[in-house]
Amino acid sequence: RILSAAFSPDGTEIALASSDYSIRVWNANDGKEKMKRFYGHSNRVWSIAFLTEKRIVSCSEDRTIVVWESSSGQKLVEFAEHDAWVLSVASSLDGTRIVSGAKDGTIGVWDVETGQTVVMPFRGHRDAVRSVDFSPDGKYIVSGSSDKTVQVWRTTDWKAAVDWSFEGHTDEVTSVKFSPDGRSIISGSKDKTVRIWTVPG
């Protein structure tokens, strides 16, 4: 079962994360698999994203985040300092930072090259963080949670405090994404609705 999919920045490749613990990379133009599926996680792979055209990041129920070389499946960096399942990952636009959301309600921010945390975990949600995303300018992080809320966090001072919280969904928020201009956020929920929120300022 496919749990997550992502386009490469140049739109030529698609990466897929699966419940069979594997990652696959496909050619977006002809639909052919570029290489055999590769393994490295020891449990379901919940989320996947491209850092650059040649690097992929994934997270898993095995409580790890892994950076891979997309052309070979080689494991480049592993982030293993987690106390809970990691359910979502996203990359900053420049590919230098990773944000993660975990089952214990925490949000982590990581340096891609060192595998170290940039700041102490953000804590504001009361339940699992199902989805995360960076704003295009990298100044904010948005998170969607099983606590039914959407929260926005500022990255410019790393105070790890919620700047805005949006409420309105009546069930788990399973997906969040900034608009290309960073002025709006779209969220999807198990309540079968999609909502669009305006970022203040």
- CB–CB of 136/90 below 8 Å? no
pLDDT tens for each residue of 181-199: 999 999 999 999 999 999 9
Residue closest to 90 by CA, chosen among 124, 138, 123: 138
Cβ neighbours, 10 Å, residue 159 = 12
CA 151/CA 164 separation, integer angstroms? 6
pLDDT tens for 95-136 read: 999 999 999 999 999 999 888 888 888 999 999 999 999 999
Do strands 194-198 and 184-189 pair parallel, antiparallel, or not at all (unpaired)?
antiparallel
- pLDDT recorded at residue 80: 75
Percent of residues, the chain, with pLDDT higher than 70: 98
Tell me what the mean pLDDT of segment 12-30 comes to: 94
Neighbours of 188 (CB within 10 A): 19
Q: What is the tens place of the pLDDT at every residue in 162-171?
A: 789 999 999 9
Residue 5: burial class (beta carbons within 10 Å; 0-12, 13-18, 19+): middle
Q: Which domain holds residue 167?
A: 2-198
Residue 170: which CATH number? 2.130.10.10
Number of domains in the chain: 1
